[in-house]
Amino acid sequence: MGIAQLPLVPRANFEVWADQETVYVINDNNGCLFDFEKLSQGETWVTRLALANVGVNNPPIDTGAGIDQRALGSVKTTDVMVLGIVNSLHPQTASPPPHAFEE
């Protein structure tokens, strides 16, 4: 999601906002990146682990192309809900009082 201010609506001890929004996700493999290798025919780049997960154990790799380390990215529009806790509930209560969510 972008950096725009969201119009949160106050409720009991939290604020809420929901709508469709563009979400940006980056997967950098826990900081290790992914090792992509080019198959010997065509312009297809793969990771050996992904191929092994589908039963391909000795793919024909173009060793001259080398290894290209990359992160993966995704941009998609999806439903989003944002909750912001304003203040915590009373420490002795395990759940909010019955009237907490009434408008």
pLDDT for position 34: 97
Tell me the two tokens of residue 77.
């529009």
Identify the helix (H) or strand (E) that includes residue 54: none
8 A C-beta contact, residue 78 and residue 23: yes
- The pTM of this model reads 0.62
pLDDT for the residue numbered 93: 57
pLDDT digits 0-9 by tens, 38-95: 999 999 999 999 999 999 999 999 999 999 999 999 999 999 998 888 776 665 555 6
Domain positions in the chain: 11-31+71-86, 34-70
Instruction: Answer yes or no: is pLDDT of 102 > 70.
Output: no
Q: How many CA atoms lie within 13 A of 35 on its CB side?
A: 8
Nearest-10 Cα torsion for 40, 42, 50, 31: 90
- pLDDT on residue 101: 59
